[in-house]
């Protein structure tokens, strides 16, 4: 893969859209974020803040660091989860059971704009880092607590992992095949919580400009994923039958999903009756099928999907994947390739839009995608992934403090 080498300071080269001199021009330049974080939700939130220029200081346990560093060794001996969510950060290794280390953390928080934490329930409060205590001492500080279930309610003290929240939020009940539920192949609950924490912090920073006061953001994984589950919840409104598990097909729109061809599979989707008529005419070449009373509305196509599936496969089974794709394109029917990870790495659209950069890590440079959303007014930061405690000495010196104990 051809990727550009980053400048020595870790900032991304221009994406080709504009030529601008380097300088302090990102939206969050000058904002300092301290994060007591592990796993995915909080690190994904803070990495996005770093993308926009914030200084993110990641507090880790001495030695092992964030336990996500040990999830796997797939990226030059480093964790795939960790390199994804931790670029552009500084790592401060502190044993927070040591009073001197806790004092250093308090001094750091006093100078910060934002504190993010997703420790076990109650852990931050036991260190004097509850919203109430912090707001009394630092009224401009924004505090974002990320947890499985939120700071109150009967589930507040329960530990939560992504799979458990996918189950609690009902995602497993609508994902998979009729025979077996399946978890999503990515950490959807963590990602959802990280996104809402990120947007909540941006909103709090804007609000602080108006009021001069910091704010408290209480983000729960359950509530974040429940928001994303609103369509199937409403589909099952007032006791109605929930969406069935339909594999890679859509539960309530048809045809929408994977269909076999003579030599492979195509993915296609119809959204309206105009597209259904074009599909029958130009793809199936059976224009009379559009008016068949079994199929002349989406609800009836969904109810009679077995019969329609047989009609589609009777045609597709005689055609190659390329021939079906050409017919779909000619009819302006949305379709896509069922890529694996190798296909995504090599996706021609990502290459054509110059989305890849090179990011430094302790084990050498790796390719990394620019954040979504090409922006004409600034360049995203694409800085190095830190080693555990790489910046401890420099940060403590900046605070005027002596080195602290690093026993894990």
pLDDT single digits (tens) 265-323: 999 999 999 999 999 999 999 999 999 999 999 999 999 999 999 999 999 999 999 99
pLDDT score of 19: 35
Catalytic residue set: 190
Cβ atoms 285, 315 nearer than 8 A: yes
> How far is Cα of residue 209 from the mean position of the Cα atoms in its chain?
27
> Cα–Cα distance between 18 and 112 in angstroms, integer?
32
Q: Which residues of the chain have pLDDT under 70?
A: 1-24, 405-408
Cβ atoms 35, 48 nearer than 8 A: no
> Cα–Cα distance between 5 and 365 in angstroms, integer?
8
Q: Which CATH number does 256-339 carry? A: 3.30.1540.10
pLDDT score of 245: 86
Architecture of the domain delimited by 32-230+356-398: 3-Layer(aba) Sandwich (3.40)
> Cα–Cα distance between 59 and 404 in angstroms, integer?
13
CATH 3.30.1540.10 placement within the chain: 256-339
Ranges of beta strands (E only) in 94-150 are 114-117, 142-147
Provide long-range contacts, Cβ within 8 A and 24+ apart, for 243-252: 243/174, 244/174, 244/178, 245/173, 245/174, 245/175, 245/176, 245/177, 245/178, 245/181, 246/177, 246/178, 247/176, 247/177, 249/305, 251/174, 252/298, 252/302
pLDDT score of 17: 34
CATH 3.40.50.10540 placement within the chain: 32-230+356-398
pLDDT score of 351: 96
């Amino acid at each position: 893969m051809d990727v550009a080498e980053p400048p020595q300071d870790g900032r991304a080269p221009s994406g080709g859209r504009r030529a601008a001199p380097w300088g302090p021009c990102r939206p969050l330049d000058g904002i300092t974020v301290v994060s007591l974080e592990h796993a995915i939700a909080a690190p994904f939130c803070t990495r996005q803040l770093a993308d926009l220029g914030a200084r993110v200081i990641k507090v880790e346990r001495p030695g092992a660091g964030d336990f996500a560093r040990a999830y796997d060794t797939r990226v030059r001996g480093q964790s795939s989860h960790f390199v994804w969510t931790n670029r552009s950060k500084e790592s401060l290794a502190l044993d927070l059971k040591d009073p001197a280390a806790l004092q250093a953390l308090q001094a750091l928080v006093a100078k910060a704009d934002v504190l993010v934490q997703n420790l076990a329930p109650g852990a931050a409060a036991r260190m004097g880092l509850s919203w109430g205590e912090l707001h009394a001492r630092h009224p401009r500080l924004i505090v974002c607590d990320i947890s499985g279930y939120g700071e109150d309610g009967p589930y507040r003290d329960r530990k939560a992992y992504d799979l458990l929240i996918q189950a609690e939020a009902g995602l497993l009940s609508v994902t998979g095949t009729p025979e077996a539920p399946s978890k999503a192949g990515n950490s959807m609950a963590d990602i959802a919580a990280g996104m809402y924490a990120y947007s909540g912090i941006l909103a709090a920073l804007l609000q602080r400009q108006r009021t001069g006061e910091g704010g408290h953001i209480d983000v729960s994984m359950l509530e974040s994923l429940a928001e994303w589950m609103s369509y199937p919840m409403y589909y099952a409104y007032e006791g109605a039958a929930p969406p069935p598990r339909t594999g890679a097909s859509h539960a309530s729109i048809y045809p929408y999903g994977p269909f076999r061809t003579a030599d492979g599979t195509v993915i296609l989707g119809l959204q309206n009756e105009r597209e259904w008529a074009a599909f029958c005419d130009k793809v199936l070449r059976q224009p009379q099928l559009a008016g068949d009373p079994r199929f002349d509305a989406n609800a009836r196509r969904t109810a009679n999907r077995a019969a329609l599936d047989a009609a589609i496969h009777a045609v597709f089974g005689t055609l190659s994947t390329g021939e079906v794709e050409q017919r779909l394109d000619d009819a302006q029917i949305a379709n896509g390739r069922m890529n694996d990870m190798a296909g995504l790495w090599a996706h021609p659209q990502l290459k054509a839009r110059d989305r890849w950069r090179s990011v430094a890590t302790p084990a050498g440079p790796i390719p990394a995608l620019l954040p979504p959303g090409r922006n004409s007014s600034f360049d995203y930061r694409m800085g190095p992934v830190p080693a555990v405690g790489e910046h401890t000495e420099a940060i403590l010196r900046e605070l005027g403090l002596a080195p602290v104990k690093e026993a894990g």
